[in-house]
A and B are shown apart, each in its own frame.
Chain A
Amino acid sequence: QEGFGSDFSSGASSGKMDPGTIMEQVKVQIAVANAQELLQRMTDKCFKKCIGKPGSTLDNSEQKCIAMCMDRYMDAWNTVSRAYNSRLQRERARI
């Protein structure tokens, strides 16, 4: 077996791509999209919670609040993930 494409574009024209490589790229792309979504929502929530009237810089208390908020948001995300997973398992068990 020869001619492994190193990216999607060369793979399509030179023949087969290694399925392992494809799956790796799919997983990476999904993970990147997930991280972007997390950051966007986290920024939205933490800006709302931590920044009152926007000043000329982020002061110390605002910085600390943002750091704490990030940690709490990720804690919340994990709690929600577990809760949703439990519910899905419960629903599947009923079928």
Chain B
Amino acid sequence: MADFSSSFDMPSASLSENAEAAELQRLIAVEQQKAQFQAQVHNFTDVCWDKCVDKPSSKLDSRTEICLVSCVERFIDTTLTITNRFTQMVQKGAH
């Protein structure tokens, strides 16, 4: 069957082509989610390196490891705190 439209052109595609395109979109969405996770790790590492790593040594000691873990947790807590309080402020009509 000669069909020169791309497989993402839904109206003229057959049923199996639609299903294939939908599955592809789903798989791509999964990879995008993984990429978003990686991007967040880059951000956290950037911030927490400055907070926790003093002089680069021959290995990451346990104090630094603990600091990094706490840093990630507290950064997320801070984000949530700010989001919640800001939402309250907006609802109260603050500017």
Residues on A close to B: CB < 8 A? 12, 15-17, 19, 22-23, 26-27, 30, 33-34, 37-38, 41, 45-46, 49-50, 65, 68-69, 71-73, 75-77, 79-81, 83-85, 87-88
Q: Which residues of B does A touch, CB under 8 Å? A: 3-4, 6-7, 17, 20, 23-24, 27-28, 31, 34-35, 37-42, 44-46, 48-50, 52-53, 55-60, 64-65, 68-69, 72-73, 76
Main SS of the interface on chain B?
helix
* B68 and chain A: residue at smallest CB distance: A79
B17 to chain A: closest CB distance in Å? 8
Residues of A within 8 A of B72 (CB): 80, 83-84, 87
A80-B31 contact, Cβ under 8 Å, with A12-B6, A19-B24, A75-B60:
no
